[in-house]
Amino acid sequence: MSNNISKEEIHHAVEKVRHPEINRTLVELGMIKDIHIGEDEVILTMAVPFLEIPIRDYLVHRVQEAIRKLGVEIEVKLTEMNQEERDAFMAMAREGWIY
């Protein structure tokens, strides 16, 4: 099933997913790290600033929703940002904070 889809198509679908509290997409925020297309599903690695962030499940669901619209199954693996990635994320968050 997923063999007919490209990383570019997956990336294009995910780059539309916006962070609910920051006026940026997850791609712009550096949260999408890796896309692997397997036999039966897509495996996407998403980095979060802290593993225990309250909206973690919401973000995972939004990414899954975007990719499932392409007709493929998706597994989202979470990883924690390193300090450099977290600093860049926080700088963009301060600039784009909605509330």
Instruction: Tell which wins on pLDDT, 1 or 86.
Output: 86
The secondary structure of the chain as a DSSP string is: -GGG--HHHHHHHHTTPBPSSBSSBTTTTT-EEEEEE-SS-EEEEEEESSTT-TTHHHHHHHHHHHHHTTT--EEEEEEE--HHHHHHHHHHHHHHB--
| 69-84 average pLDDT score | 96
Instruction: Tell which wins on pLDDT, 74 or 4.
Output: 74
- The domain spans of the chain are 2-87
Q: Which residues, including other chains, have CB under 8 Å from residue 13's CB and lie 6 or more apart?
A: 66, 67, 69, 70
pTM: 0.88
pLDDT level of residue 99 (50, 70, 90 thresholds): low
pLDDT of 24 higher than 50: yes
Instruction: Tell which wins on pLDDT, 78 or 96.
Output: 78
Instruction: Look at residue 3 in the predicted model and tell me its pLDDT.
Output: 58
In the sheet that holds 74-80, the strands lie side by side as 32-37, 42-48, 74-80
Q: Which CATH number fits domain 2-87: 3.40.47.10, 3.30.300.130, 1.10.287.1060, 1.10.8.80?
A: 3.30.300.130
